[in-house]
Amino acid sequence: MSAVGTAPAAPLSDGSWQYRGLNALNPGLDHLSDGLLDLVDAGVPVIAGTADLQYSNGLVKFARTHPDRFLQFGISEQNMVSAAAGLATTGASPFVATFASFLALLCCEQIRMDVAYTKLPVRLIGHHTGISLGFYGTSHHATEDISTMRAIAGLTVVSPADGPQLRAAIRASASWPEPIYFRISRGRDPQVYDPEVEFEFGRGVEHSQGTDVTIIACGTQVHPALEAADALRAEGLSVGVVDMSTIKPLDEDLVRAVSARSAVVVTVEEHNVLGGLGAAVAEVMAETPTGSRLVRHGIRDEYSLIAPPTHLYAHYRLDAPGIAAVVREALA
């Protein structure tokens, strides 16, 4: 079965149907639907939509629970974003999801003009970000979406580290006035946070403090950054780790604090080093110099290769051993 294809549903003894397939392999996908179900239970007028990818992003669970609140747009991503803007004008709280490469790049004009310019509270879910689609190739890899979305005025950009943090961020979005671009992976992210984790937009999470180096990571790179930090501490280094889950608005106070404390700051992202998390941190450090040196780690301004995701993470040194190696080189 394809990692992104349509998966079957299985009949249960009571005559109902239960989805089987992707969510069994990618349990993190359930957190998207679970977060939306939390909002519905809280009285938020959620409408969810997708571009023929309800199995890939886990929205099938929401669709089967609230079919009257679910819209299937088919292969019509740009229309989906514009329709979400229209729904927001009626008082609905629309969440629309598709592959990040399609949402952030193909739909950039609709996001800018229909959603952000009009300041409508649309929630955009770009899933399978970075190089997580592996064999589907460069056309499906999303290594420019942070820089594209970050440059759009009035658009919040969030990259949760795991499923629980995604669910918490979705719950927190109920009171957030701006449109949001959620950058999520494929649902196989190792768990970083407890299920009851809280989320605050614009606030980074400082897991540890270090004087030699602080690693600032986002999204899929938080877990390997934590593992890399453990390995480096075993070598006698003082290593801090920050989860910068909100890339815009950035937690500038935290960036200034860690750059004043650490000799080197290393940013880690599953994204082009141009315009992404590293660039956002660099802007703050340039405006408030502390003497700390910055190293941006990610994909070095190239089109990503085609391979299994695990191989790609190792190739681009976006796994724990690779991040640890980058930090050693930065300190040397």
Which pLDDT tens digit goes with each residue over 267-293?
A: 999 999 999 999 999 999 999 989 899
Q: Which one is predicted more confidently, 22 or 294?
A: 294
Is 129:270 a contact under the CB 8 Å cutoff? yes
Which pLDDT tens digit goes with each residue over 66-104?
A: 999 999 999 999 999 999 999 999 999 999 999 999 999
Q: Pick left, alpha or beta for residue 302 (phi over 0 → left; psi -120 to 50 → alpha; otherwise beta).
A: beta
Complete domains list, the chain, with CATH:
17-183 (3.40.50.970), 205-331 (3.40.50.920)
CA–CA separation, 63 and 66 (whole Å)? 5
- Nearest-CA neighbor of 52 among 76, 28, 68, 32? 76
**Full-model pTM:** 0.91
Question: What was the pLDDT predicted at 189?
Answer: 83
CA–CA separation, 72 and 88 (whole Å)? 17
CA–CA separation, 322 and 324 (whole Å)? 5
Residue 28: band (very low, low, confident or very high) from pLDDT cuts 50, 70, 90:
low
What pairing do the DSSP bridges indicate for beta strands 17-19 and 9-11?
Answer: antiparallel
Please report where in the chains the tokens 């943090």 appear, as a residue: 165
Contacts of residue 258, defined as CB under 8 A and 6 or more positions apart, other chains included, come to: 206, 209, 214, 216, 240, 242, 265
Is 74:49 a contact under the CB 8 Å cutoff? no
Which pLDDT tens digit goes with each residue over 184-199?
A: 998 788 999 999 999 9
- Nearest-CA neighbor of 217 among 260, 275, 139, 161? 161
Contacts of residue 164, defined as CB under 8 A and 6 or more positions apart, other chains included, come to: 31, 191, 192, 193, 194, 195, 196, 197
Please give the average per-residue pLDDT across 208-236, as a whole number. 98
